[in-house]
Amino acid sequence: MIKADAYGHGAIEVARTLADADAFAVATSLEAIPLREAGISQKIVVLGGVVNEAEMQSCFDYQLDPVLHQFWQIDLMNRMQSRHKIDLWLKFNSGMGRLGFSEPDLRQALSQLKQSTNIDTIRLMTHLANADDNSDPKSSEQISSVKGLGLQGYEWGIANSAGILGWPKSHVNWVRAGIALYGSDPFFDPDTTSKLRPAMNFKSQLLAINSIKKGHSIGYGGLHTCQRDQTIGVVAAGYADGYPRHLTGGYVMINGHKAAIVGRVSMDMITIDLSGLQAKPGDEVTLWGDAPLANEIASLSETSSYELFCHAGCHGRKEFINKN
């Protein structure tokens, strides 16, 4: 899964690194075309399908695999004129409730597609809605509904990251590694997290160090008032860089030590408590990575690591480091 610029990690670079992958998946054809133009030759699945004839044409032009989930898309596919065939996927709505055909509609869709001369291989897929909760029976119900269709003659894709890690019965012909691919635990389970290594380290630098007297407040709204004399560091990062503004608590790592975040996260700055720590302007600050984990920051911000990754480094720079 390399949609949303590979969850903020850089789609082209991730695709080149994963040279042995059988296929990649993106949300739209607009995401897929730059990958083709960069020389990515594997199958590229367009999860959102197409919204018009031009997008369907781009699937033929760039040999993309659209996911079809509406009958009008099938009509469009059947009307297309092309010298080249493409593969496609039909989506079954097994319980997510967003995109996909119901059971009777899926069978009708398959019947209609048999009339098309534009198709090479048809594959089927669905999406697990609650797989991140391994105590919720809905995933088992969805998997059973797929198998109850009796369409095992087709190649299927069911498992997302949580399915791969927690629901073995969802492992069929294809699996879709998403958030786990980037080292973030979809369950936020320490036992699982220990098996995953974060691919992203989000870092900045210490911009300034100030001595703030007891009773003085820090930042917008004066959310933090010093209960004692404190040494306050200012980190050159904020919500404009994708760090969550609504964080409650939390910490960063500096010189191997935790430094608590104090006050409100600003557009370009974060204030941290350096009391008792050795630090100087220019020192590297880790906002998330091996510690703190993105999931920790996400939990304290009432969001998910998916959102943090997608927004990280909005006006910073990415440095790609290959590690064995």
The residues that are catalytic are 3, 220
Q: Report the relative pairing of strands 174-175 and 202-212 from DSSP bridges.
A: unpaired
One-letter amino acid at 260 equals: A
Report phi then psi at 71, rounded to 5.
-65, -30
Buried (b) or exposed (e) across 148-157, using 16+ Cβ within 10 A?
Answer: ebebeebebb
Query: Is 82 in contact with 91 (CB distance < 8 Å)?
Result: no
Residue 240, judged by CB atoms within 10 A of its CB (0-12, 13-18, 19+), counts as middle
Amino acid occupying residue 85 = K
Q: Which of 265, 267, 323, 263 is nearest to 290 (CA)?
A: 323
Measure the CA–CA gap between 272 and 259, rounded to whole angstroms: 6
Cβ neighbours of residue 195 closer than 8 Å, sequence gap 6 or more: none
Q: Decide: 30 and 51 in contact? Cβ < 8 Å.
A: no
Task: Report the largest interatomic distance among the alpha carbons of the chain, rounded to a whole angstrom.
Answer: 78
* Residue type present at position 23: A
With b meaning 16 or more CB within 10 Å and e meaning fewer, what string describes 72-99?
ebbebbeebeeeeebbbbbbbbbbbeeb
